[in-house]
């Protein structure tokens, strides 16, 4: 079912004390109700303490990444079973930092996605174009390709476990946000792709989040668009007040 979601991607920013302090600040400032699901994605060592500290809140603790492998000799990797054993039900896959810095390609992201889904996880699948691609006018085909390669082998039933996050790379951490019209246009394009491939139900039920310099000042105008179902927030999620102000924009 399509849901509004505001997810904070803490990236490699919070050690354990910082992570726990931020959770404490979030809990202190939480209102009884939000018109969206709230998620935070701490680093791996902080996930279990974060899970325990948020049990009495509506905040879901999610992972920033996972391995496509089941188990075994994969030094440095974290399996889906391991994440599930510490309470994680949702994982971010395909963030542009994973694609660009760690060279995760479409085939690997497709493997991670299906592995996570087959274990019953929800996946926040990220896509988005670089600035040169947008300048060349190739953003729709680039994002379309990313989605096709990682998600079009799934069944409509499996797609129920997928949330898509459109994050134009030129807007990540730059302070430059896609305009509400640019976000809506791409989200509508993605939804049309889902409709053409999977059918009306999948298109209607899939949440599509926007990410890239989402702030309290621009969240409401982004979320007001019919195809923008929330945000994947980086920098602004590291401050409890600004993260909750973004969640309040719904």
Question: Cβ 179 to ligand 13P, closest distance in Å?
Answer: 15
Which helix (H) or strand (E) segment is 220 a member of? Answer: helix 216-223
122-127 and 5-9 beta bridge pairing: unpaired
Which of 193, 214 has the CB closer to ligand 13P?
214
Q: Give the residue at shortest CB distance from ligand 13P.
A: 234
Please count the other Cβ atoms lying within 10 Å of the Cβ belonging to residue 216. Answer: 17
With contact defined as beta carbons under 8 Å apart, do 121 and 79 qualify?
A: no
Looking only at the bridges linking them, the beta strands covering 208-211 and 162-166 are parallel
Sorted by sequence, the CB contacts under 8 Å of residue 101 that are 6+ apart come out as none
Q: Which of 60, 167, 187, 189 is catalytic?
A: 167
Question: Can you give the binding site for ligand 13P, defined by CB under 6 A?
Answer: 9, 95, 167, 172-173, 211-214, 232-236
Q: Which residues contact 68 (CB under 8 A, 6 or more apart)?
A: 108, 111, 112, 115
Comparison of 198 and 234: residue with beta carbon closer to ligand 13P: 234
For residues 42 and 211, which CB has a smaller minimum distance to ligand 13P in the complex?
Answer: 211
Decide if 167 is catalytic.
yes
Cβ closest to ligand 13P, residue 203 vs residue 208:
208
Closest CA to 167 of 206, 211, 129: 211
Minimum gap (Å) between residue 140 Cβ and ligand 13P: 20
State the minimum distance, in angstroms, from the CB of residue 210 to ligand 13P.
Answer: 10
37, 60, 68, 95: which one is catalytic? Answer: 95
Active site residue 189: no
Closest approach, Cβ 134 to ligand 13P, in A, equals 16
For the annotated catalytic residues, the residue numbers are 95, 167
């Amino acid at each position: 079912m399509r849901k509004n979601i505001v997810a904070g991607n803490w990236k490699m920013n919070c050690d354990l004390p910082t992570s726990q302090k931020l959770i404490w600040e979030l809990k202190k400032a939480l209102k009884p109700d939000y018109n969206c699901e709230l998620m935070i994605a701490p680093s791996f060592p902080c996930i279990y303490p974060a899970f325990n500290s948020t049990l009495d809140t509506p905040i879901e603790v999610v992972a920033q990444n996972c391995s496509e492998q089941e188990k075994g000799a994969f030094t440095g990797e974290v399996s889906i079973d391991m994440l599930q054993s510490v309470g994680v039900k949702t994982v971010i896959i395909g963030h542009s930092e994973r694609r660009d810095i760690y060279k995760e390609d479409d085939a690997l992201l497709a493997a991670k996605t299906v592995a996570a889904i087959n274990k019953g996880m929800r996946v926040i699948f990220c896509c988005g174009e670089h600035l040169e691609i947008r300048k060349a006018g190739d953003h729709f085909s680039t994002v379309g390709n990313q989605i096709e390669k990682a998600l079009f082998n799934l069944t409509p039933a499996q797609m129920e476990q997928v949330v898509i996050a459109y994050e134009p790379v030129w807007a990540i951490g730059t302070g430059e946000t896609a305009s509400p019209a640019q976000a809506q246009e791409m989200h509508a394009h993605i939804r049309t792709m889902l409709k053409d491939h999977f059918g009306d139900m999948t298109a209607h039920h899939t949440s599509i989040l926007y990410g890239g310099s989402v702030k309290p000042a621009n969240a409401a105008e982004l979320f007001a668009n019919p195809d923008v179902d929330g945000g994947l927030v980086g920098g602004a999620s590291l401050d409890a007040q600004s993260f909750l102000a973004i969640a309040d924009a719904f």
